[in-house]
């Protein structure tokens, strides 16, 4: 895809309580990307050089998983409890800041009953952090996060906890833009990262290996990967790589089950192409997995400016950066983009996962048919490249721009008439190991 961004998360409207999603970025695609897409003359959907083991036990756990494919199977299809603990207003996070009901055990039980195996719990910590040098996390906030992690454990789900909007657009204390040019700020930030992760790790040190820590979310300078990071001589990447090493060191030094817990290592801006700038931390346990996000084409999946997707579509996304108005980001661009993760990590024995993916509600039968196809094709492609995927859910049941509701966050009930269908399609794509179920068969079934 020539540098297109795989990102979704922070924007300058996130403090608004009526904001629908954790993400909306209008500049995710590479403005220099003139690659033609949707070449219908070449409909071979398979990547024939990849191993895809068929004999992994379906009930394997993260405690026993060692290879990328075992990790993928253990994590299965995932779900984000989005716009919940990551929500914030006026510099302070709160579970109901963006009008979500409080999460309950029933929520997690019904998510698990739907076939989901992993729940990502994005957490914004700002407003609950004390002064230097201790940077003590407010007990009530950490206790509530722990309570919800307990819901996941009781439901038999894996759980992921991270530091989320504290780094949004470099507007808060995780300011990569300033840290790249100010050594004093970088030193202070590294100390705060270490203090926070030590406290989080200490809180959960006795929790089993179902729990994953993910260092950060979508760290960038406000340019969504197309900012000063592109021309500052690597300063932002160097600062961020130091943050990641600090995260790993803090967790491992806390002892207990944290000595061998799986850790999620996001690339800069969770961008697939910017993985080339990622230096994996030194980890004595060698239990890290790389995290990226995927929402392409965002003008279809997030903004709903187009109504169809794929080789049978008639209103597919057009490249807004090209004078040729070509259709782009269809099947023939998805495959090589996701295969980059296989080539860079999976094939070398390093697990990876897609921490966020999604496609907004349409509530129109024909448009929902194409949304279901998008989900099945993309999730199957992620699976075949050795990665699990985690669906973004911001609890918004209506249709259109940034409306990503599937489960009611307070009850676990379906949000609209199409929610169950979409979850079933995603679970099928991520968990079916029948040799006859292939990317080609998914493609051919879409009429």
DSSP 301-318: HTT---S--STT-SS--B
Q: Which residues pair with 120 in a beta bridge?
A: 80, 160
For 327, phi then psi, to 5°, come to -65, 140
Q: Which helix (H) or strand (E) holds 121?
A: strand 118-121
% of the chain beyond a pLDDT of 90: 85
**pLDDT top residue among 33 and 389:** 389
Mean pLDDT of 267-281: 97
Among the listed residues 218, 337, 376, 402, the single catalytic one is 218
User: What is the model's pLDDT at position 23?
Assistant: 41
* Nearby residues of 323 by Cβ (< 8 Å), 6 or more positions away: none
DSSP-derived secondary structure letter, 137: B
The region that residue 141 occupies, defined by phi over 0 for left and psi between -120 and 50 for alpha, beta otherwise, is alpha
* Nearby residues of 73 by Cβ (< 8 Å), 6 or more positions away: 56, 57, 58, 60, 65
pLDDT digits (tens, 9 = 90+) for 310-349: 999 999 999 988 877 889 999 999 999 999 999 999 999 9
The domains located in the chain, with CATH, are 68-445 (3.20.20.80)
Reported residue count of the chain is 447
194 pLDDT tier (thresholds 50, 70, 90): very high
218 pLDDT tier (thresholds 50, 70, 90): very high
Judge whether 303 counts as a catalytic residue: no
Q: How far apart are CA 251 and CA 67, in angstroms?
A: 22
Dig out the tokens for 186 from the structure.
């970088």
For 356, phi then psi, to 5°, come to -145, 135
17 pLDDT tier (thresholds 50, 70, 90): very low
pLDDT digits (tens, 9 = 90+) for 226-267: 999 999 999 999 999 999 999 999 999 999 999 999 999 999
Contact of 145 with 123, CB cutoff 8 Å: yes
44 pLDDT tier (thresholds 50, 70, 90): confident
Judge whether 376 counts as a catalytic residue: no
Nearest to 201 by CA among 136, 251, 273, 146: 251
Q: How far apart are CA 194 and CA 184, in angstroms?
A: 16
Q: How far apart are CA 409 and CA 413, in angstroms?
A: 8
Contact of 245 with 278, CB cutoff 8 Å: no
Among the listed residues 192, 242, 356, 376, the single catalytic one is 356
Nearest to 241 by CA among 275, 272, 200, 202: 275
181 pLDDT tier (thresholds 50, 70, 90): very high
User: What is the model's pLDDT at position 26?
Assistant: 35
User: What is the model's pLDDT at position 20?
Assistant: 37
Q: How far apart are CA 300 and CA 296, in angstroms?
A: 8
Asked if residue 19 has pLDDT above 80, the reply is: no
Please report where in the chains the tokens 């249709």 appear, as a residue: 399
429 pLDDT tier (thresholds 50, 70, 90): very high
pLDDT digits (tens, 9 = 90+) for 356-406: 999 999 999 999 999 999 999 999 999 999 999 999 999 999 999 999 999
Burial degree of 172 (CB within 10 A; 0-12, 13-18, 19+): middle
Average pLDDT, rounded, for the chain: 90
Burial degree of 108 (CB within 10 A; 0-12, 13-18, 19+): buried
User: What is the model's pLDDT at position 323?
Assistant: 76
Give the range among 6-15, 93-102, 373-382, 391-400 with minimum mean pLDDT: 6-15
Beta strands in 323-384 (DSSP E): 352-357
Q: How far apart are CA 376 and CA 381, in angstroms?
A: 8
Mean pLDDT of 268-294: 98
User: What is the model's pLDDT at position 304?
Assistant: 95
Asked if residue 22 has pLDDT above 50, the reply is: no
Q: Which helix (H) or strand (E) holds 160?
A: strand 158-162
41 pLDDT tier (thresholds 50, 70, 90): very low
User: What is the model's pLDDT at position 325?
Assistant: 80
Question: How many other β-carbons are positioned within 10 Å of the β-carbon of residue 244?
Answer: 23
What SS3 state is found at 265? Answer: strand
Asked if residue 49 has pLDDT above 90, the reply is: no
End-to-end CA distance of the chain: 26
pLDDT digits (tens, 9 = 90+) for 136-172: 999 999 999 999 999 999 999 999 999 999 998 899 9
One DSSP character per residue, 65-92 reads: --SHHHHHHHH-EEEE-TTTTT-EETTE
50 pLDDT tier (thresholds 50, 70, 90): low
Mean pLDDT of 183-208: 98
User: What is the model's pLDDT at position 1?
Assistant: 27
pLDDT digits (tens, 9 = 90+) for 120-135: 999 999 999 999 999 9
Q: How far apart are CA 29 and CA 2, in angstroms?
A: 9
User: What is the model's pLDDT at position 52?
Assistant: 67
* Nearby residues of 205 by Cβ (< 8 Å), 6 or more positions away: 254, 255, 256, 257, 258
274 pLDDT tier (thresholds 50, 70, 90): very high
């Amino acid at each position: 895809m020539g540098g297109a961004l795989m990102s979704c998360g922070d924007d300058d409207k996130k403090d608004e309580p009526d904001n629908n999603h954790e993400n909306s970025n209008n500049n995710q695609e590479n403005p220099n990307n003139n690659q033609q897409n949707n070449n219908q003359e070449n409909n071979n959907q398979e990547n024939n050089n990849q191993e895809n083991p068929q004999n992994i036990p379906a009930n394997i756990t993260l405690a026993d998983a060692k290879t990328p494919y075992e990790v993928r199977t253990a994590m299965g299809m995932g779900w984000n409890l989005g716009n919940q603990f990551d929500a914030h207003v006026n510099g302070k996070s709160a579970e109901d800041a963006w009008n979500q009901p409080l999460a309950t055990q029933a929520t997690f039980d019904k998510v698990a009953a739907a076939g989901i195996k992993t729940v990502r719990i994005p957490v914004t910590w700002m407003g609950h952090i004390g002064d230097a040098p201790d940077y003590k996390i407010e007990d009530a906030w950490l206790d509530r996060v722990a309570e919800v992690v307990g819901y996941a454990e009781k439901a038999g789900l894996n759980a992921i906890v991270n530091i989320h909007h504290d780094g949004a657009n470099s507007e808060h204390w995780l300011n990569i833009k300033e840290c790249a040019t100010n050594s004093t700020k970088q030193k202070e930030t590294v100390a705060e990262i270490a203090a926070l992760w030590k406290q989080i790790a200490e809180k959960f040190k006795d929790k089993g290996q179902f729990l994953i820590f993910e260092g950060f979310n979508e760290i960038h300078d406000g340019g969504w990967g197309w900012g000063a990071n592109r021309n500052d001589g690597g300063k932002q990447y160097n600062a961020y790589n130091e943050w990641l090493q600090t995260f790993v060191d803090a967790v491992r030094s806390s002892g207990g089950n944290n000595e061998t817990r799986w850790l999620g290592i996001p690339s800069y801006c969770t961008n697939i192409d910017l993985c080339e700038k990622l230096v994996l931390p030194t980890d004595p346990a060698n239990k890290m997995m790389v995290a990226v996000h995927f929402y392409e084409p965002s003008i279809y999946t997030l903004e709903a400016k187009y109504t169809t997707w794929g080789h049978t579509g008639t209103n597919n996304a057009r490249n807004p950066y090209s004078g040729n108005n070509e259709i782009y980001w269809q099947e023939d661009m998805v495959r090589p983009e996701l295969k980059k993760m296989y080539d860079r990590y999976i094939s070398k024995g390093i697990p990876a996962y897609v921490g966020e993916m999604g496609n907004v509600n349409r509530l129109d039968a024909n448009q929902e048919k194409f949304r279901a196809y998008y989900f099945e094709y993309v999730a199957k492609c992620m699976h075949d490249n050795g990665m699990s995927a985690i669906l973004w859910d911001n609890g918004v049941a209506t249709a259109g721009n940034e409306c990503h509701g599937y489960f009611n966050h307070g009850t676990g009930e379906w949000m609209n008439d199409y929610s169950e269908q979409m979850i079933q399609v995603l679970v099928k794509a991520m968990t079916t190991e029948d040799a006859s179920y292939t990317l080609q068969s998914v493609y051919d079934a879409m009429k």
